[in-house]
Amino acid sequence: MTKVVSLKSHAAAARRRPAIDHGGGARLFGDSASVIAQLRPQRPLYILRTDKLTRTAQAFAAAFPGETMYAVKTNPHETAIRTLYKAGITSFDVASMDEVRLVRKYAPKAKMYFMHPVKAPEAIAESYHNYGIRHFVLDSLDELYKIIRETGLASDLHLYVRLALPKNHNAAIDFSAKFGATPAEAARLLRKCRSVAERLGLCFHVGTQTTEPSVYTRAVAHTASVIADSGVKIDMLDVGGGFPVPYPGEDAPSIQTCIATLQEALAAHGLSHLPLLAEPGRALVAESGTLVTRVELRKDKTLYINDGTYGGLFDAGPLLGTRYPVTAHRLSDKNGGKFKKPLADFRFVGPTCDGLDRMEGPFALPGDIKLGDYIEIGNMGAYSQGMRTNFNGFGAADLVVVTDT
Ligand SMILES: *Cc1c(COP(=O)(O)O)cnc(C)c1O
C-alpha cells in the first residue's frame, strides 16, 4: 500500500528547485516545506529522515550499557530496518513470522529475539529451525512446553521469563494487563527453565511512553524480589522498551535519565553484574518520521484531513488521544504562502465515514488555516505506518526518504 519514493535532500539543490522526476531515481530535497511544495501530495505522505534516525539510534545505543534491540512493530518499514542496522542496531525484537522474514530480508545478518510471550507452534519451529532464532520469551508453563516440543528439546535455548509489573498509570499503554507472569508463576517458571535453558533471563515492559523514570525503579525492585524468591541464578536482564519521547503537553525525561535511574536501582538491589538488554521502539524511531496530511475542509475549529485513526493516526483517536506536534504548511499563493493569524486550537476528523475517526487534540495551528493547506504531524516514525488499514478506501500513503545533505 505504501509506495516508496527514494529522495535525497540537499539544501543547495533544493534552493535550485530541481524538477521532480516522477520516474524514480535519486531526487534532492531540503526541508519539509520544499518537499511539500515540490510534491503537492494528494495522499498522506510520510517523510522519513534517515540521518536523524541514525543519530537517534546511535545516541540510544551509546547511552545504554547493554545490547540494544529494536522492536520491529514500531516501524516495520524496510528503510527503517536497513537504516537501523547500518547505524549499528544489529539486534531486532520480532513478534511474528512476518516480522522474522522482514528482518531477514532487509537486515540479513541481524540477530533476532522472538519476544512475543504467546507464539504459534509453527512459528517457534520455523524460527528455530529455518531462521536460527535461539532467543524466546515466555510467561507460562504451556508456552515453555511448546518451545521445548517445537525445537526438539534443543539444548541451545536462551529463554526469557516475562514478568507482569504492578500497574503503571503513567504509561500511554500498560502492557502488563496483557502479558507477564505473577511473582509466584515467574519463580516457578525460572526453576523449570533453568534446567532446559542454555541461558536464562528475566524481562519486563514498563508500558509504552513511560514518562516517569521511577517506574523503572519499581520494575527493578519487583524483578529483584522475584529473583530472590525463586532461588535461581539468572544470566541476563532485559529491561524492555517504554522509553519516552516528548509530545505537546507532556514532558519526557531524557533517555540518559531513564537509564541512570535503571542503573541506580540495579545497584541498590545488587543486580549491577547482570548483562542488560533493552527493546526500545518509540525512542529510536518516533522523531525521525513525520506525516503530511492535507486539509480537505474546515468547519470552524474542526479540520477534515485526509488521514485519520484508521490510517496513520490511531493513537490520536478516542482511545489514547495522543497530542502530536503539528506544523502548518501553505503552498505559495499571492501572499507568499504565509499564515497571518496567531495559533488557535483545532480538532481533526479523518477521511472515513466512521464516527470514531476523530482526533480531539487539541492541535495548535494558525487561526487562518484553510482547505488545501497541509499539516505535518510529528513523531510519526513510530506506531503509524504499520497500523494503517484500507478501511473505506483511504489506506494508501506515500513515503519519501530525506537525508540531511
Ligand atoms: C512494543 C514493544 C516494545 C517497544 O515498546 P516502546 O514503548 O515503543 O519502546 C518492546 N518490547 C515489546 C515486547 C513490545 O511489545
> 372 and 297: one domain?
yes
Shortest-distance Cα residue to atom 4 of ligand 1: 281
**DSSP 8-class letter at 173:** B
d(CA 329, CA 324) in angstroms, rounded, equals 16
Give DSSP secondary structure letters for 146-167: HHHHHTTS-S--EEEEEBP-S-
What pLDDT band is residue 336 in, cutting at 50, 70 and 90? confident
Q: How far is the CA of 242 from the centre of ligand 1 (A)?
A: 6
Q: Which of 225, 256, 285 is the last residue of a domain?
A: 285
Q: How far is the CA of 271 from the centre of ligand 1 (A)?
A: 23
Q: How far is the CA of 240 from the centre of ligand 1 (A)?
A: 7
At 213 the pLDDT is 93
> 258 and 305: one domain?
no
> 168 and 239: one domain?
yes
With left for phi above 0 and alpha for psi between -120 and 50, is residue 189 left, alpha or beta?
alpha
What pLDDT band is residue 405 in, cutting at 50, 70 and 90? low
Ligand 1 atom nearest residue 203's Cα: 13
Q: How far is the CA of 208 from the centre of ligand 1 (A)?
A: 7
Mutational test site, ligand 1, from 205, 243, 245, max ligand atoms within 8 Å of CB:
205
Mean pLDDT of 323-329: 98
Shortest-distance Cα residue to atom 5 of ligand 1: 241
Mutational test site, ligand 1, from 202, 208, 255, 380, max ligand atoms within 8 Å of CB:
208
Q: Share the mean pLDDT of the chain.
A: 92
Coil, helix or strand at residue 111: strand
Give DSSP secondary structure letters for 15-81: HT-PPP-TT-S--EE-SHHHHHHHH--SS-EEEEEHHHHHHHHHHHHHHSSSEEEEEGGG---HHHH
Mean pLDDT of 269-279: 98
Residue 91, pLDDT > 50, answer: yes
> 114 and 209: one domain?
yes
Q: Which of 285, 313, 348 is the last residue of a domain?
A: 285
Residue 248, pLDDT > 90, answer: yes
Q: How far is the CA of 87 from the centre of ligand 1 (A)?
A: 20
Q: How far is the CA of 127 from the centre of ligand 1 (A)?
A: 20
H/E segment holding residue 226: helix 214-230
Ligand 1 atom nearest residue 383's Cα: 8
The per-residue pLDDT for range 6-41, each reduced to its tens digit, is 554 444 333 433 333 333 344 456 789 989 998 999
Ligand 1 atom nearest residue 279's Cα: 10
Three cell numbers, residue 385: 505506518
b/e code 44-74 from CB counts within 10 Å (16+ = b)? bbbbbbbebbbebbbbbbebbebbbbbbbbb
d(CA 396, CA 316) in angstroms, rounded, equals 19
> 225 and 299: one domain?
no
> 20 and 68: one domain?
no
At 6 the pLDDT is 52
Q: Domain containing 177: what range?
A: 51-285
At 15 the pLDDT is 41
Three cell numbers, residue 207: 508500558
Q: Show contacts of 82-87: CB within 8 Å, 24+ apart.
A: 82/106, 82/107, 83/50, 83/53, 83/54, 83/57, 84/53, 84/57, 84/284, 84/285, 85/109, 85/110, 86/54, 87/53, 87/54, 87/57, 87/58, 87/61
H/E segment holding residue 92: strand 91-94
Three cell numbers, residue 393: 478506501
Site of grid cell 524496510: 78
Closest CA to 236 of 135, 109, 308: 135
Q: How far is the CA of 50 from the centre of ligand 1 (A)?
A: 21
> 86 and 189: one domain?
yes
Q: Which amino acid is at 225?
A: S
C-alpha of 45 from chain center? 18
Three cell numbers, residue 176: 502488563
> 122 and 254: one domain?
yes
> 152 and 24: one domain?
no
CATH number of the domain bearing residue 382: 2.40.37.10
CATH number of the domain bearing residue 117: 3.20.20.10
Number of domains in the chain: 2
> 39 and 56: one domain?
no
At 292 the pLDDT is 98
Give DSSP secondary structure letters for 303-364: EEES--TTTT-GGGSTTT-----EEEE----TTTT---SPEEEEEEE-SSS-TT-EEEEEEE
At 332 the pLDDT is 83
> 323 and 232: one domain?
no
Check if the beta carbon of residue 236 is closer than 8 Å to that of residue 201.
Answer: yes
At 217 the pLDDT is 96
Ligand 1 atom nearest residue 74's Cα: 8
At 5 the pLDDT is 52
Q: How far is the CA of 39 from the centre of ligand 1 (A)?
A: 34
Q: How far is the CA of 209 from the centre of ligand 1 (A)?
A: 10
Q: How far is the CA of 216 from the centre of ligand 1 (A)?
A: 14
Q: Which amino acid is at 282?
A: R
Higher pLDDT, 1 or 405: 405
Ligand 1 atom nearest residue 116's Cα: 13
The per-residue pLDDT for range 46-80, each reduced to its tens digit, is 999 999 999 999 999 999 999 999 999 999 999 99
Mean pLDDT of 195-219: 95
d(CA 130, CA 392) in angstroms, rounded, equals 38
Residues, the chain: 405
Closest CA to 272 of 240, 237, 321: 237
Q: Which of 285, 305, 332 is the last residue of a domain?
A: 285
Name residues contacting ligand 1 (CB within 6 A). 71, 73-74, 93, 115, 205, 208, 240-243, 279-283
Ligand 1 atom nearest residue 137's Cα: 13
- Dihedral sign, CA of 119, 125, 127, 132? positive
> 272 and 312: one domain?
no
Closest CA to 38 of 10, 60, 8, 18: 18
Mutational test site, ligand 1, from 68, 74, 139, 203, max ligand atoms within 8 Å of CB:
74
d(CA 165, CA 179) in angstroms, rounded, equals 9
d(CA 165, CA 176) in angstroms, rounded, equals 6
Ligand 1 atom nearest residue 282's Cα: 8
